[in-house]
Structure 1
Amino acid sequence: MSCRAGCGACCIAPSITTPIPGMPEGKPAGVRCVQLDDDNLCRLFGEASRPTVCRRFEYDRELCSDDREQALRILTQWEQATR
C-alpha cells in the first residue's frame, strides 16, 4: 500500500524543527502545516522547498494504519514518546 491521498496525518501530528515556507520556525506537534491544502494534500510535494524531513517520510503501515484518524493517533503517540 502507498500513502493515502488526503490523509495529511504526517503534516499535522509530528513537530518539524526546520523551516517550512510560511512557517520559518518549523511547526509544533499537532499543528496543521500551512502547506497542507483543504484536501489534505501538500502544496510543496515534489518541490525543492519541501523540507528534507518531509521528503524522507514514507508510508509505513505500522505508522499510517488503515485510516486517517488512526494515523493521527499513532503519529501523535510516537511524537510524544520521542520528545
Structure 2
Amino acid sequence: MEWDSSIEFAPVILMFKDPDRVFCVRTAKEAANALIKEFPTDDGEEFLLAIKLCLDVIEGKADPEQLRAAIIRVADEAGVTAIAVLN
C-alpha cells in the first residue's frame, strides 16, 4: 500500500489555552500528530472520526477537505480554538 501523506488542504490554526501551543495543520500527517500529541482529550465522537479520516486521507479513501472540516469540529468539541484559513 502506498500512502500519500503530502496532500495539503487549506490551513487550520489550532490555538490551545497555553499561548505557546499554536499549531498550523495542513496535511493528514500534521493533523494526526496534533490530534494524538496535543489535544486535551482523546475521546469523543468528533475526535474518533478525525483520527479515522487522517488514515482515510493518507490511504486516498477520503477527500482532504473532509479531514479539514473534521479538524474544525473536533477542535470545537475539545474547546480548542480553530482558525480556518482560506486560500
Q: Shared fold (TM-score greater than 0.5)?
A: no
Larger relative contact order, structure 1 or 2 (CA cutoff 8 Å, min sep 6): 2
TM-score by length of 1: 0.38
Higher helix share goes to which structure? Answer: 2
